Amino acid sequence: MTWNVLITDYAWPSIEPEKKILEEAGAKVIIAPSTDEKTLIDLAKQSDAILTCFAHVNSKVIESAKKCVAIGRFGVGVDNIDIEKATESGIAVTYVPDYCIDEVSDHVFALLLSWNRKLIQLNDSVKSSGWGSMKLNMRIMRLRGKTLGIIGFGRIGQSVANKAKVFGLKVIVYDPNNHQNTNNEIQYVELNELLTNSDFITLHAPSNNFTHKMIGADQFNLMKKDAFIINCARGALIDEKALYKALTQNQISGAGLDVMIENIPSITNPLFKLENFIVTPHTAFFSQESTLELEQRGAMEVVKVMNGQMPDNLVNPEVLNHKNPRHQLTKS
């Protein structure tokens, strides 16, 4: 049986790994020429499955996908997919929640160390003005004994905590999702206590109604003046206007972001002009190893659903109770 799978977008050089898996399973792969809503609506009409990275698979796209059995997310978060509409339509949604744990937790420390050791400023100083041209009067902390506050304690948050031990950091955690953790060395606190006591704060919560702009003006007011905040999770967790104010009025010392509210923020974003703001373009997930794993596992999840097999990571288990499901999955 031949079936059509629409790949809306991807962030890596080649789709050969996932294409090979899909075609061996009998799929015809369709690559969307753009991610605008009209294009995706038109292409979804002929699709039995959809694989997406950052493109928005919204209710209109899902409504047009009358044949669609599965929607797979190349990634951890699923806030770009209308899960409620997919479930209502009897469509199984899959994702790959654990492919880049090391990469993202490594990136957190890349941002933390780049800021704390002033690597960017020192590098620029040497290259522009020569060796020893920058006076050593900037604030650089000894990490051992300092406090790292982790907001969100799923797989990545726990990996960050484990790596923090190597630097001698004290770890405190606020977890809005109440993930289970057996590490007795971790101290759980309320959000305000974490914000007040942390020297470094890193966000690892999902984007939802509860966490939307959870870090705003009131939260920045609670932080230490030399605190540094990191976000490698979802851009919507931070109120960017409040962040700009906090950075320009010295409420906190700095911020390092890998994600922002807009998927592709404008070059004119005022945060980009600040010296105490470090940004990377949503690349914390990336390594050759992680993307290969993501491509292969993302494709395999969709193939499993198409073959009537339970995927490893089903986002919407409620779909198993659908009166007229488009899939052939059954509860185990």
The string of pLDDT tens digits covering residues 269-290 is: 999 999 999 999 999 999 999 9
Q: Which two tokens stand for residue 288?
A: 């050759």
- pLDDT above 60: residue 228: yes
Q: Is 57 helix (H, G, I), strand (E, B) or coil?
A: strand
| Distance from C-alpha of 167 to C-alpha of 70, rounded to nearest angstrom | 43
- pLDDT above 60: residue 332: no
Which pLDDT value is given to residue 214?
Answer: 98
Lowest mean pLDDT among 46-60, 167-181, 236-250, 251-265: 167-181
Cα–Cα nearest to 95, from 256, 282, 314: 314
Q: Which two tokens stand for residue 108?
A: 């957190």
| Distance from C-alpha of 310 to C-alpha of 312, rounded to nearest angstrom | 7
**Axis-axis angle for helices 101-116, 155-166 (nearest 10):** 50
Q: Which two tokens stand for residue 330?
A: 């059954």
* Residue % of the chain over a pLDDT of 70: 98
Which pLDDT value is given to residue 178?
Answer: 74
Q: Which two tokens stand for residue 89?
A: 């339509």
Using an 8 Å Cβ cutoff, are 236 and 213 in contact? Answer: yes
- pLDDT above 60: residue 198: yes
Mean pLDDT for 146-153 is 97
Structural domains in the chain plus CATH codes: 3-99+288-321 (3.40.50.720), 101-279 (3.40.50.720)
Cα–Cα nearest to 81, from 319, 325, 328, 258: 319
- pLDDT above 90: residue 185: no
Is the whole-model pTM more than 0.75? yes
- The CA-atom distances, in angstroms, between 243 and each of 239, 255, 269 are 6, 8, 12
Which pLDDT value is given to residue 187?
Answer: 93
Mean pLDDT for 100-129 is 96
Q: Which two tokens stand for residue 32?
A: 């969307």
Which pLDDT value is given to residue 331?
Answer: 65
